[in-house]
Structure 1
Amino acid sequence: MAGDAVIQGDLARAVIDPASYAEWDTLLDTFDHIRSEHGVVKVLPEDKGVFDPFWLVTSYDDVMRISKDNQTFLNHPRTVVFSLNEGIEFAKAMTGGSPHMVASLVTFDAPVHMKYRKLTQEWFMPKNLRSVEDEIRALAEKTVQKLVDSGPEVDFVPLVSAPYPLHVVMQIMGVPEEDEPRMLMLTQQMFGGQDDDLNQSGMKDMTPEQITQLVAGAVADFEKYFAGITAEKRANPTGDVASTIANATVDGEPLNDRDMMGYYIILAAAGHDTTSASTAGAMLALAKDPEQFARVKADRSLLPGIVEEAIRWTSPVQHFMRTAAQDTEIGGRQIRKGDWLMINYVAANHDPAQFDDPRRFDAARSPSRHLAFGAGAHQCLGLHLARLEMRILFEALLDRLDSIALAGDPQRSKSTFVGGLKTLPLRITPS
């Protein structure tokens, strides 16, 4: 068995500190050390009561096993995203006892999870997405035109990788374009972590309870907005996802308000931040490797490999938590019923036992069975949409750009949950 079963102090802080995730290579060094020296390891707080101890799982095989075993490893009843106890208690007070500020697909277990997933699952299948492909292409071309008009030096994130996926998912949901800035602001408050550049709220100086209150305010604003959408879509249903949710039934009953709002929020928020991060990651890799950019510009059959490798390389959803439903064993460690576990996708997708030279961006990597979309019953509902919109965007970019190069140092966001580049300064040469 590898190493000691417990870490705390600086090593433990590095796992849960949002600032650690902004220092990517150092973070990967940390996970490599933990994986090789300790294996599956329990993370302990220095001060009792700050957060509950949890098992950190960093190897690809172990994360895959947990992801697929949804009977042994539950999304409920404990929080499915790492949180400090102060924040969890605040969430319980706000929701009447649930540790989840938002009830959604990611917090449900069987049999409820699949009943809710089936409501929109068909919408996000490739066959149905073909019906919106032309609209996505028009959005991509409009976005790339704006990039070209802003050159030659641009910041790719606010110009392209942030607004483009937001446009796509809001269009699919039936949210008017004029409301998109509000959706972006609320998403950044929910997922911006402790990165003041993203949440624009002074969060870096806030206590955990104040941060949770800010997130609660964003949730309340989301709910208020989508209550109006629900009324509209029930009175005048259209062919969009919001209409599907507003008029859905489970076991013959309409969705209750909390579950309905959670459904809207998870699609609206998670549906664009993650694709934004992968898109920026792909552009960073191509900017660093002019030869690879030239190859894919000349041979578009390489594009799917660029997209898939970018998703692995960036791993935008950086972790989820699971709770053991029974006594079990992972990586030679005895896991007890009720134990909390962090399955860390960043670490798993950079496990050298699964990926040769994992820090290298290799568009020809094969096979690349990464875990950035999760696995099993909880695999990302929007994975086909993410791949489609990235492919279409890069087709438009490659059509319009002759070359790209870095024009400064990119910066990553400070966030333990959803993360990626927050700036990507480029110098572009139009075709």
Structure 2
Amino acid sequence: MPVANVDDAIADPHTYADPSAYHQLFRTLRSEDPIRWTEPSACRPFWTVSKHADILDIEKQSDLFANAPRTLLRTREQEEQVRKLTGSVQAVRTLVHMDEPDHRLYRQLTQAWFMPAKLRSLEEGLARLASEFVDRMAAKGSECDFARDIAMWYPLRVIMMILGVPPEDEALMLRLTQEHFGGADPDVNKDGKKDATSAVRGFFEYFKNLTDERRKAPGDDLASLLANAEIDGKPISDFDRSSYYFLIATAGHDTTSSSLSGLLLALLEHPDQLARLRSDPSLIPSAVDEGIRWVTPVKHFFRTSTADCTFRGQKFKNGDSLMLCYWSGNRDEDAFVDPFSFRIDRTPNRHLAFGYGIHLCLGQMLAKMEIRALLKEIVARVGQLELNGKPEWLVTNFVGGLKSLPISYRMN
């Protein structure tokens, strides 16, 4: 491809909705131009970092490569929409956007909720919920759209239970999440009227009301914790609180949904691996990790150089943006043996899907617990799984995966 087309392809959300096109492009980049100065026509320029080892090294150096101020790829037009709302290029201020010391202080507010001691108390409830969702598959007869009917709703129910959002509001949470991550997708933004701030404004309005309720009547949920949260004896700001809600309500389920659907598709496309999993369910944990590597629902995050420096022979200037391409890193031939083979027993599997370093995903253990619970139910209770149509991917260059996965099956 001509140089200009390569740069536009790196930024184009449609590239990420076509896995074969994405992997062809980034395989070439890893080989020929692993740290590429990229100037898409619609976006501010940045360095594209495509190799596993380089992403790791940058993640380790959080002082030299900061999260703020640019954390994800938006067009100039989208950045201007956000700037009009907030005065900066960021629509929210979450753990993803924070550097030290704020990152550590705000992470500590909720960290206990996502640690093994707390998660063990959720295992029985997750097992019941997983069983209920396989019951939904049974109730639909012999076919469903796994992405739309099951994978989108199961992790949403989990995180909304933890957060304290009532079931009747889950449809709103799902719609706003899809609008935020999939605003470039014509199926999500059907009228073309949703801009880069529409979903954020909807979330903030909802969580303002939830905060008022939890201050009057706190419960044993994350919403109550955040409604009354303090750091150094002072209440956190309304903007930081709403941003925290926003992070948990979106990233807390959307990435897990994408991993679930992508894992099932991979098993359907590799029937030998599905048969092996049925014969040896002890492989479920490693199959889950392989599925997450395979899908890598968070396609990128940005970092910003805080000083002039040289990295892998390239001269970064203070303020340069770096796009860390996790999906590319998770297919790196120098980091994985036969990376384009789906292997449910892959060991080691040092994938980057949860990030690395101080910003390692807070909810990674919960996400894997959820996927393991549902996969266990599917393997035990659902037989003759087959594709029943063409899978479709969400048009997004940031966070996403399958938006449609039609399947047919027979219950055991």
TM-score range, shorter chain: over 0.9
TM superposition shift of 1:229: 1.2
After the TM superposition, which parts of structure 1 deviate over 4 Å for at least 4 consecutive aligned residues? none
TM superposition shift of 1:224: 1.3
Query: What is residue 34 of structure 2 aligned with on the other side?
Result: 39
Aligned-residue sequence identity (percent) comes to 41
Query: What is residue 425 of structure 1 aligned with on the other side?
Result: 406
TM superposition shift of 1:200: 4.2
Distance in 1, matches of 2:374 and 2:310, equals 44
* Contact residue 324 and residue 335 of structure 1 kept, 8 A: yes
Query: What is residue 185 of structure 1 aligned with on the other side?
Result: 175
Gaps of 5+ in 2: none
Residue 103 in 1 paired to residue 93 in 2? yes
Residue 85 in 1 paired to residue 76 in 2? yes
Distance in 2, matches of 1:253 and 1:174, equals 23
Query: What is residue 343 of structure 1 aligned with on the other side?
Result: 324
Distance in 2, matches of 1:368 and 1:151, equals 36
Distance in 2, matches of 1:243 and 1:404, equals 42
Which of 6, 10, 23 in structure 2 is aligned with 1:11? 6
Distance in 2, matches of 1:412 and 1:134, equals 32
Distance in 2, matches of 1:27 and 1:66, equals 22
Which of 104, 107, 125 in structure 2 is aligned with 1:114? 104
* Contact residue 40 and residue 330 of structure 1 kept, 8 A: no
Per-residue CA distance 1:39-82 (angstroms, 9 max, x = gap): 21100134xxx3221000000000011112111111112x2011
Residue 57 in 1 paired to residue 49 in 2? yes
Amino acid at match of 2:259: S
* Contact residue 326 and residue 336 of structure 1 kept, 8 A: yes
Amino acid at match of 2:178: Q
Which has the higher mean CA deviation after the structures are superposed, 384-393 or 231-240?
Answer: 231-240
TM superposition shift of 1:211: 4.7
Amino acid at match of 2:25: T
TM superposition shift of 1:273: 0.8
Amino acid at match of 1:21: Y
Distance in 1, matches of 2:139 and 2:380, equals 15
Residue 314 in 1 paired to residue 295 in 2? yes
TM superposition shift of 1:251: 1.7
1:240-389 matches, within 5 Å, as 240-389=221-370
Query: What is residue 202 of structure 1 aligned with on the other side?
Result: 191
TM superposition shift of 1:417: 0.2
Query: What is residue 19 of structure 2 aligned with on the other side?
Result: 24
TM superposition shift of 1:90: 2.1
SS in 1 for 2:122: helix
* Contact residue 76 and residue 323 of structure 1 kept, 8 A: yes
TM superposition shift of 1:112: 0.5
* Contact residue 8 and residue 44 of structure 1 kept, 8 A: no
Which of 147, 164, 178 in structure 1 is aligned with 2:154? 164
Gaps of 5+ in 1: 1-6, 204-209
Which has the higher mean CA deviation after the structures are superposed, 146-155 or 53-62?
Answer: 146-155
TM-score (norm 2): 0.97
TM superposition shift of 1:298: 2.7
Query: What is residue 3 of structure 1 aligned with on the other side?
Result: none
Query: What is residue 131 of structure 1 aligned with on the other side?
Result: 121
Distance in 2, matches of 1:169 and 1:83, equals 27
Distance in 2, matches of 1:56 and 1:292, equals 33
SS in 1 for 2:262: helix
Amino acid at match of 2:181: F
Distance in 1, matches of 2:124 and 2:31, equals 47
Distance in 2, matches of 1:153 and 1:89, equals 44
Which of 55, 60, 63 in structure 2 is aligned with 1:68? 60
* Contact residue 193 and residue 416 of structure 1 kept, 8 A: no
* Contact residue 39 and residue 331 of structure 1 kept, 8 A: no
Per-residue CA distance 1:276-328 (angstroms, 9 max, x = gap): 11101110111123332222223221000110001000000000111100112
Residue 225 in 1 paired to residue 206 in 2? yes
